[in-house]
A and B are shown apart, each in its own frame.
Chain A
């Protein structure tokens, strides 16, 4: 019951907080053309550039191979793990979710490996250590905690999956089912609640932020199309 309330609250903060941020990003003007060049000269080209950035972490690949492999492993693992969790929220379970279900344990392992790599880098590379705040370590440990509790339920202390599913379906239909016992599942869900709760207030905003980054999402066509926004005064109306 309490856990249901916490999860609802966290989700509410997440939706409102991230929605507000996205609105802010979208409504703030970009007065000048500043794509990092060479940049695509067409909208379609920009879609491709963004897709490569989102899916392959193109720029990070250019920058640092260790950071790239660790963060890509983590994010890919996270995506697969999230999709696999759909089996708790769909009834009957969608076909493709069943299909990828066997991948979930590998996804969890990929997350832990990637996050641990990033954490070690943060601790042992002097440059990265210098720029790290306490929250940077805590964030990694929080997500490691989420992945680890998930994996433990899988490999060690099994949880009553059927009951968890009842609980999840209850959440979906706004019914407060009681969560089956087990400290691991409670811990897992609490950590998830913390993560989505801090999302709008933390560097996790890099997820929506990337899509609004002018250096990546602008088309390189300033000579062909005049870029005008309200912040640059029109000289014709200059007093």
Chain B
């Protein structure tokens, strides 16, 4: 169904040009539709229901009633165009439906038709449209070309966040039985087995044991990777990619080394062996809450005092912004620490307290830049001060290596570009979209590569890491130029046995 590699990767120029509007440029791109079993496991109808128009319109009304954000966003857009050149998918494809306002309008036009006076009586005048098959088709295609990165919301004069609109649209589609395979299959696995990979407890225990052996062999220090240890101080919740994938696993090794050197007892949980929460991507608060509750249950069962999240972008959004709401209150944990904490916050604190012995020259073979992950940058914080999500990771990287350079200012911090694979789009059936959507980030990387001879880009998100491993080669880079922040940390830590 999906043809592979029959597209041309964009060619990078001297700077990112805003492309001319090219209608239909990505009209052919859509992810696999979920099978009935995937939908039903999440409480949705297996296949498109007969009266889908009616169900969808009713669901839209229900969502608008339940979300101030959605209501205000659907009413307030003045079509000023501020967002039109901000989305990485538009910059990479030129498809007008990838302009945030046009993407929102796919839903807004139906809202106007059914829920506003002007749209009911003068649809043509105000651009109101019926929800017909063509519209549903466009919903499915273009709401799966949004990575919910919130870059548009930074520039909108009313803060309209297309992520909220695309989440609502996906929830409506789930409700009528038109779910996306990648997300729904994964959420089903989390509900059933505790993680996105569908990795059962014995396999996880095996993997961690192997890791312990590997690390001990390499540095001659018995760094532990504990699983389900009752009474540990810290419960570490990390994306399951950290157990397997490159370069994620080097990040996990880094966290373990940090805990080891600081003398903090910690444990992973087989019940909550996944930080990711794809319930966010499909806009389902119920699924998101169910997935989040595993973390509370694991913390209670293991009797830990703190919850720490590993490197994962949207997981940190759910952890930082929503966990307290969805699964709190966490008054049974140590109130001296925020709940939850990010591993970068933990490492940063330890560095400030002088509790880590680091030699940055261990990374002298690398010249490093940092990719701000979209959900961390625009939907969360680290540390006590606003903007800590930008300064803390950079502090940690600078303590770990001697050669750090930022990418251009309009591509980092709150203006950061999504990697191109976030929001439930990290699937092979969307590879063309992912490659093209990575263009603005690749352009920025090329800039620092040429200016500062950058060799590596560090990231704090499992999706970013997987996505860049895949798309870097399309732009003439090597797949291993993407690394985990805690790989740098782990390699810079000095253990006594080294001397």
A228 to B327, CA, bound (A): 11
A59 to B80, CA, bound (A): 12
Residues of B with C-beta under 8 A to A63 = 82-83, 86, 155-157
CB under 8 Å from chain A, chain B span 141-169:
150, 153-161, 164
B164 partner, pick from A34, A38, A64, beta carbons under 8 A: A34
Whether, in the assembled complex, A29 has its beta carbon less than 8 Å from a beta carbon of chain B, the answer is yes
- B124 and A134 form a contact (CB under 8 A): yes
Known: A127-B84, A135-B126, A235-B289. A62 touches B154 (CB 8 A): yes
A233 to B71, CA, bound (A): 21
Whether, in the assembled complex, B381 has its beta carbon less than 8 Å from a beta carbon of chain A, the answer is yes
Whether, in the assembled complex, B48 has its beta carbon less than 8 Å from a beta carbon of chain A, the answer is no
- B79 and A38 form a contact (CB under 8 A): no
Compute the total of residue contacts between A and B using a CB distance below 8 Å: 217
Q: How large is the interface on A (under 10, 10 to 19, 20 to 34, 35 or more residues)?
A: 35 or more
Binds A, one of B4-12, B175-183, B237-245, B316-324: B316-324
CB under 8 Å from chain B, chain A span 196-235:
198, 201-203, 205-206, 209-210, 212-216, 220, 222-224, 226-228, 231-233, 235
Chain A 17-37: CB-based contact to B (< 8 A → 1; otherwise 0): 000010011001111111011
- A235 and B296 form a contact (CB under 8 A): yes
- A213 and B81 form a contact (CB under 8 A): no
Whether, in the assembled complex, A108 has its beta carbon less than 8 Å from a beta carbon of chain B, the answer is no
A216 partner, pick from B86, B118, B159, beta carbons under 8 A: B159
- A34 and B69 form a contact (CB under 8 A): yes
A residues bordering B, Cβ < 8 Å? 21, 24-25, 28-34, 36-41, 45, 53, 57, 59-60, 62-64, 67, 71, 118, 121-122, 125-128, 130-136, 138, 198, 201-203, 205-206, 209-210, 212-216, 220, 222-224, 226-228, 231-233, 235
B residues bordering A, Cβ < 8 Å? 18, 20-21, 64-69, 71-73, 75-86, 96, 99, 101-102, 105, 116-118, 124-127, 150, 153-161, 164, 285-286, 289, 293, 296, 320-322, 324-329, 338-340, 377-381, 384-387, 389-390, 414
Can you sample 10 A-B contacts with CB below 8 Å? A28-B64, A125-B81, A132-B79, A135-B118, A135-B127, A206-B75, A213-B158, A215-B160, A216-B159, A220-B381
A sample of 11 more A-B contacts (CB under 8 A), given A205-B75, A222-B324, is: A25-B72, A28-B71, A34-B321, A36-B154, A36-B378, A37-B389, A39-B381, A40-B386, A127-B21, A131-B101, A206-B77
